[in-house]
Amino acid sequence: MKFLQQFSDELESLVAKAMPAVVAVQHAQGHGTGLFLTPDGYVLTNRHVVRSRGRLTLELHDGSEVRAELVGADAPTDLAVVRAEEGAKFPTLPLADPHDVRVGQWVMAIGNPFRLEQSVSMGVVSAINRTLPLPDGVILEGLLQTDAAINPGNSGGPLLNMHGQVVGLNTLVLPYAQGIGFAVSATTAAWVASLLIQRGKVERRFLGIAATAINLPAQRAQEAGQLRAVRVMKVGQGTPAADAGLEADDLLLGIDERPVTNVDDVQRMLALATGPEVRLDVLRKGRRRTLRARTASREHSKAA
């Protein structure tokens, strides 16, 4: 009983600390939730929350309202950044280290479902690195799955661990299922948000491969020097990957000397690359290879 009371007290304290950084995002055609990224008013939310043009209003924790403007949006991740037009020193929340996010962890979703402001729900991380196709053809990758209740209006709100760190941004729930919600990982949210703030958009480049993340068996992990890699399933004809000599069943270990462990890592490295050519570190039939690829640009990426 004492343990339960202590756990309850800690949850209350966590909610009290987190709530001031969470805002309601409102516009003429809908509403959702957002999270202050920076003290000077940049707010992270979902693209579908702010898709319609027009005036945006942020309702703060204390009930006050400030106008906001759209900074940029990214369809492939369903993320957007808006900025409060007035005010400063807004409260923020820390992002979790991706290596600390594990299946079975307790998490808490905060948001405004059905306009019920500042609602809190509890659950666990049910799975990581989920891939989910959307009706408009966009494929969301690297998602966290949770059984914490997520409903319309929760979109854009934080999914927090028990240390008060943001592990993901609540984005959608399957309408035909009960208790299955998804969040964009904090890792994805961080790099997309930084590009939206700096450039107003995410300029994507692609290799032209279909790929999936895999856990490496012990022998291959020893050969690769890492526990996970991206397996190339298919290489498109006439693509940068084909020109570079990439083949199906290759294990992509790194891009520009940085390790990749999932498809989101691949997309992030390509988006952040400064030149037209990238270095690919590949494991093929037990041998490491280095390939060079001149990547191509496209506005919306459905694969790597």
Q: Which helix (H) or strand (E) holds 169?
A: strand 166-173
Catalytic residue among 119, 121, 126, 155: 155
Give the max Cα distance, the chain.
Answer: 65
124: region left, alpha or beta (phi > 0 left; psi from -120 to 50 alpha): beta
250 catalytically annotated: no
Active site residue: 74, 78, 265, 281, which one?
78
163 is catalytic: no
Out of 48, 121, 250, 281, pick the active-site residue. 48
Map tokens 């005010």 to a residue: 87
Task: Write out the catalytic residue numbers.
Answer: 48, 78, 155
